[in-house]
């Protein structure tokens, strides 16, 4: 049984663990939305399978899929990947799945944020989004975990926590008029403190250039360890990313985290810049929300990787920089396994490996 609680995780002694803490599983959702994924999601499905296979080397993977694609997905996925029929509007489990919190008695609970497709009727990417909004609660029910319905619109990719009291986010996303315009910055911080038991929020001004999520932090940087982050870097002064990354670095190095540590910032090269080709744009159905035009700049970033049980699953995006990114990640995570997955197809849908996965902590 799974109950929706009226209290808050802070009141109940639950905190959100960092991604580098142990996982019981990773959840994903099968892509098939034709106005986001080209050719009805067929090329993307292959890449999601590759990501799921890579993760499943160390962690159990559960994929959810709509009824119409169940048979196809089951036939293509290895047997050890669990498949569950569940309706969704698209396939970004990081944003539609629960953010989990745990306590020190070995209990975990889900936090179910309100979801409005990255901006609702202001600048959201599709309508309706009710099936996506229901996913977090359904995941908790399948796992028989109790949950909290948090009273703000928030996507999992817009926050990173270090498990020791610090949360990283961007003003571009959390203060965007399309999320919670009735709340001040301080009120949003109070909700994050109540629902994730964090003590300090580090606000970066902007996310990656031209990111259709309104600047999710998970596409700009990742937490390596408490007090240590890796940040997308760009050395081309004429690129809009140049100033964004510098500003983020300046804030991070001037800040201390919740435990008073000075934050160490490592740099990750930016792939590209990458653009949608004419051939890639041709396969996507036209819609109102998502721009999939030939020549559109893609928000590509190596920071959009998943950490799961001492394994880094990272996107391969540009043969000029892939090796450099892998070398940096290998140095940052000594003793971890590293799997690069060709991920341009996920990038064409507007995100990457971190955005399509959500971890369930081990307790």
Residues interacting with ligand KQY, by CB under 6 A?
36, 92, 94-95, 125, 157, 212-213, 216, 219, 290, 349-351, 355
The least CB distance from residue 91 to ligand KQY, in Å, is 9
Is the distance from CB of 37 to CB of 280 less than 8 angstroms? Answer: no
Q: Name which of 169 and 213 has its Cβ closer to ligand KQY.
A: 213
Q: Name which of 92 and 203 has its Cβ closer to ligand KQY.
A: 92
The least CB distance from residue 231 to ligand KQY, in Å, is 17
**Gyration radius of the chain over CA positions:** 19
Is the distance from CB of 233 to CB of 269 less than 8 angstroms? Answer: yes
Q: What is Dmax (Cα atoms) for the chain? A: 56
Q: Name which of 118 and 195 has its Cβ closer to ligand KQY.
A: 118
Q: Name which of 196 and 355 has its Cβ closer to ligand KQY.
A: 355
Q: How far apart are the first and last CA of the chain?
A: 18
Helices (H) and strands (E) in the chain, counts: 12, 17
The least CB distance from residue 351 to ligand KQY, in Å, is 3
Q: Name which of 263 and 348 has its Cβ closer to ligand KQY.
A: 348
The least CB distance from residue 187 to ligand KQY, in Å, is 24
Q: Which of 140, 173, 234, 355 is catalytic?
A: 355
Q: Rounded distance, CA 360 to CA 101, Å?
A: 9
**DSSP-assigned letters across all residues of 25-72:** EEEEE----TTTSGGGGHHHHHHHHHHHHHHTTTS-EEEEE-GGGHHH
The answer to whether the bond into 273 is cis (omega within 30° of 0) is yes
Q: Name which of 227 and 271 has its Cβ closer to ligand KQY.
A: 271
Q: Which residues contact 139 (CB under 8 A, 6 or more apart)?
A: 27, 64, 97, 98, 110, 358
The least CB distance from residue 35 to ligand KQY, in Å, is 9
Query: Which token pair is 328?
Result: 């940096």
The least CB distance from residue 56 to ligand KQY, in Å, is 21
355 counts as catalytic: yes
Query: Cβ of 3: how many Cβ atoms within 10 Å?
Result: 12
Q: Which residues on neighbouring strands pair with residue 261, listed in sequence order?
A: none
Residues recognised as catalytic: 355
């Amino acid at each position: 049984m799974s109950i929706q609680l009226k209290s808050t995780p802070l009141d109940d002694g639950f905190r959100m663990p960092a991604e580098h803490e142990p996982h019981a599983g990773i959840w994903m959702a099968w892509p098939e939305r034709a106005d986001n994924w080209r050719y009805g999601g067929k090329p993307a499905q292959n890449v999601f399978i590759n990501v799921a296979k890579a993760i499943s080397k160390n962690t159990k993977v559960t994929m959810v899929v709509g009824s119409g694609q169940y048979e196809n997905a089951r036939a293509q996925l290895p047997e050890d990947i669990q498949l569950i029929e569940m309706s969704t509007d698209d396939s970004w489990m990081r944003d539609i799945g629960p953010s989990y919190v745990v306590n020190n008695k070995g209990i975990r609970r889900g936090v179910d944020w309100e979801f409005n497709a990255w901006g609702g009727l202001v600048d959201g990417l599709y309508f309706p989004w009710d099936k996506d909004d229901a996913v977090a609660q359904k995941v908790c029910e399948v796992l028989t975990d109790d949950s909290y319905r948090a009273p703000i619109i928030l996507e999992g990719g817009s926050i990173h926590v270090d498990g020791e009291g610090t949360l990283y986010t961007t003003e571009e996303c959390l203060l965007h008029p399309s999320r919670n315009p009735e709340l001040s910055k301080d009120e949003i911080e109070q909700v994050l403190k109540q629902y994730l038991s964090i003590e300090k929020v580090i606000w970066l001004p902007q996310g990656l250039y031209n990111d259709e999520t309104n600047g999710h932090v998970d596409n700009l940087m990742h937490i390596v360890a408490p007090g240590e982050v890796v940040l997308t870097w760009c050395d081309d002064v004429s690129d809009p990313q140049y100033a964004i990354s510098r500003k983020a670095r300046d804030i991070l190095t001037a800040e201390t985290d919740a435990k008073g540590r000075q934050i160490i910032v490592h740099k990750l090269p930016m792939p590209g810049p990458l653009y949608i080709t004419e051939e890639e744009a041709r396969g996507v159905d036209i819609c109102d929300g998502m721009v999939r035009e030939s020549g559109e700049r893609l928000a590509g970033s190596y920071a959009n990787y998943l950490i799961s049980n001492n394994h880094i699953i990272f996107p391969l995006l540009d043969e000029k920089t892939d090796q450099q990114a892998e070398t940096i990640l290998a140095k940052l995570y000594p003793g971890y396994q590293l799997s690069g997955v060709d991920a341009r197809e996920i990038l064409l849908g507007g995100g990457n490996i971190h955005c399509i996965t959500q971890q369930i902590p081990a307790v």
